Amino acid sequence: MSPAPKPQPSRANRPSRRSTRRIALFAGAYTHIADGVSLTLNRLVEHLEQQGATVRVFAPTVDDPAIEDHAGTLTSVPSLPVPGRSEYRLSLGLTPSVRQALDDFAPTLYHIATPDLLGHNALQRAQDTDTPVVTSYHTHFSSYLKYYHLGLLEAPVWGYLRSFYNQCRQVYVPTHAMADVLRGHGIDSDLRLWPRGVDTDRFAPSRRSAAWRRAHGIGTEEVVVAFVSRLVWEKGLDVYADVIDRLERQGVPHHSLVVGDGPAREELETRLPNATFPGFLDGTDLAEAYASSDVFLFPSDTETFGNVTLEAMASGLPTVCADAAGSRDLVDDGTTGRLCAPGHVEAFAEAVRTLVVDERRRDRMGTAARKRAQDFTWPAVLNRMSRYYDEVLPHPPSPSPQDPAPTGATA
C-alpha cells in the first residue's frame, strides 16, 4: 500500500493570499508514470499556479516516481498495484486522512480526471459541500474492454460512466470525435473541447540529426518507420509488428524504430529482430528521434487524443494512424498522413509502403503535418481550460488573456 498521505511541495511559488481559485485535482496517475495524461495534467497545474491559482493534487504515489519534479502540491492517495501491471495503481479512494486533507484545503472547484473510486468519492464530496465539479475524459474504457475481450462489461461500464459524467458541470473531451462518442452513449452534460498542445520549438524538423541516426545504427539513406509510445499491447503493437513483418516479406526497404519501454518490450524485440529499440527517451533525445525518422506509424485505437501523433506531426513526419476518435481530429487523410481501419494490417502496410517508396509524397505530407501541428499551441490550450474554470467558479477572477483557440477546436 502507498504511504500515508503527505502534501509534497510544488516546484512553483504559490500565492500567499487565499485565492478564489482553489482547485482540487483528482488523478489516477500524476507522478508514478510518465504517460500523456500525467504529463498533460502537470502542465495544466503549472499553468494554473502561474496564473495565481492554488492547486492541490490528489493521486496515488510510489517511492520511485517517473515524474519527480511535479507541479502543484501533491497529497498521496493510498493505492495498490494493478495485478500483472504494477506500473498502474488502483486508488483506494478518499480515506479518512485524505478526506481531512481535502476538507482542510477547502477547494472552490473540483476537477476530476479519473472516474475510478477516487473520482467517485470526490464527486460525492463535492456534492456534499455544494462545490462545483468538472471532469476531463482521458481514457477510452470501451476500447480497452474490447481489446482484453471483456465486451460483456461494456454496457454496465457505459452505464456507470453516463451516471458519473452527467453529474458534472462540464466534461472536457480532447476531440470532436470523442465528444460524438460520449453523446452517442447518453452523456449529455456540457461537453467542452479541450485538445492537447505541442511545443513546436522542441518538436521540429530542424531537430533531424545524422549523428543521432549513426549512433543508433541507421544508415544515411534508410527510411525510418517509427513508433513512439509506452510498450503495451493495447497501443497497437501487434499491428505495428505485423506491418513491419509484411514490409520485410515484400522487400520494401526501411528501418523500424521503436521508441519507448514497457512490459511488452521483450516480446516485441523477439518479433522484430531487425528493429532498433533505444528505450524510453525524453528531452532532446526524443525530439531528435522523431525528426530523424521519416514515417510515423501509430495503429493504436485506444487513444482519446494522439499526443505522440501530434509530436510526430510537429516534427514534420507524415503519420499513418488508426481511423479512430483519438486520431481523426488530427490527421487529414491524404494530406497530412493516412487513416486506416483499426486492425487492418493490409491497409496499414500499403499506406506505409507508398510513403516509404515515394520521397516526394513523404515530404509533401510531412510539410502539411507540421503546418497542422502549429495550430495546437500549449498557451491557447491551457488558457482555454482556465476560461472554462471561470465559468463555474463562484466568484470568477478577472478574465485570462484571450489567446486564440487551436484551429478546429471550438467549444
Q: Give the pLDDT score at 395.
A: 62
In this structure, is residue 92 part of a structural domain?
A: yes
Residue 45 sits in which domain range?
A: 22-197+376-392
CA angle 152, 157, 161 (to 5 degrees): 160
CA angle 274, 276, 282 (to 5 degrees): 165
Looking at per-residue pLDDT, the higher value among 308 and 149 belongs to 308
92, 59 Cβ separation under 8 angstroms = no
pLDDT in tens, 355-383: 999 999 999 999 999 999 999 999 999 99
User: Cβ atoms within 10 A of the Cβ of 233, count?
Assistant: 17
91, 82 Cβ separation under 8 angstroms = no
Q: Are residues 388 and 305 in the same domain?
A: no
Q: How many domains does the chain have?
A: 2
Q: Are residues 346 and 241 in the same domain?
A: yes
In this structure, is residue 5 part of a structural domain?
A: no
Q: Are residues 134 and 269 in the same domain?
A: no
Q: Give the pLDDT score at 409.
A: 43
In this structure, is residue 10 part of a structural domain?
A: no
Segment 126-141 shows an average pLDDT of 93
Q: Are residues 244 and 337 in the same domain?
A: yes
Q: Are residues 115 and 135 in the same domain?
A: yes
Q: Give the pLDDT score at 410.
A: 42
Q: Is 220 helix (H, G, I), strand (E, B) or coil?
A: coil
Looking at per-residue pLDDT, the higher value among 388 and 410 belongs to 388
Q: Are residues 218 and 362 in the same domain?
A: yes
Q: Are residues 130 and 113 in the same domain?
A: yes
In this structure, is residue 404 part of a structural domain?
A: no
Inform me whether the pLDDT recorded for 411 exceeds 80: no
87, 40 Cβ separation under 8 angstroms = no
**Alpha-carbon torsion angle 128, 134, 139, 142, nearest 10:** 70
Q: Give the pLDDT score at 3.
A: 46
How would residue 104 be classed by pLDDT, with cut points 50, 70 and 90?
Answer: very high
pLDDT in tens, 45-84: 999 999 999 999 999 998 888 888 898 899 999 999 988 7
Q: What is the Cα–Cα distance from 21 to 377, expressed in whole angstroms?
A: 24
Sign of CA dihedral 20, 25, 31, 33: negative
Inform me whether the pLDDT recorded for 304 exceeds 80: yes
Percent of the chain exceeding pLDDT 70 equals 91
How would residue 302 be classed by pLDDT, with cut points 50, 70 and 90?
Answer: confident
pLDDT in tens, 246-299: 999 999 999 999 999 999 999 999 999 999 999 999 999 999 999 999 999 999
In this structure, is residue 6 part of a structural domain?
A: no
Q: Give the pLDDT score at 295.
A: 99
In this structure, is residue 401 part of a structural domain?
A: no
Q: Give the pLDDT score at 400.
A: 52
pLDDT in tens, 159-216: 999 999 999 999 999 999 899 999 999 998 899 999 999 999 999 999 999 999 999 9
In this structure, is residue 258 part of a structural domain?
A: yes
Q: Are residues 61 and 182 in the same domain?
A: yes
Q: What is the Cα–Cα distance from 101 to 103, expressed in whole angstroms?
A: 6
Residue with cell 488508426: 322
In this structure, is residue 174 part of a structural domain?
A: yes
Which CATH number does the domain housing residue 320 bear? 3.40.50.2000
Q: Give the pLDDT score at 303.
A: 86
Q: What is the Cα–Cα distance from 23 to 7, expressed in whole angstroms?
A: 15
Phi and psi of 180, rounded to 5°? -60, -40
Q: Are residues 55 and 146 in the same domain?
A: yes
Looking at per-residue pLDDT, the higher value among 274 and 306 belongs to 274
Q: Give the pLDDT score at 325.
A: 85
Q: Are residues 155 and 273 in the same domain?
A: no
Segment 234-238 shows an average pLDDT of 94
Q: Are residues 122 and 165 in the same domain?
A: yes
Segment 88-94 shows an average pLDDT of 91
Q: Are residues 42 and 175 in the same domain?
A: yes
Q: Give the pLDDT score at 52.
A: 93
Q: Name the helix (H) or strand (E) containing 307.
A: helix 307-314
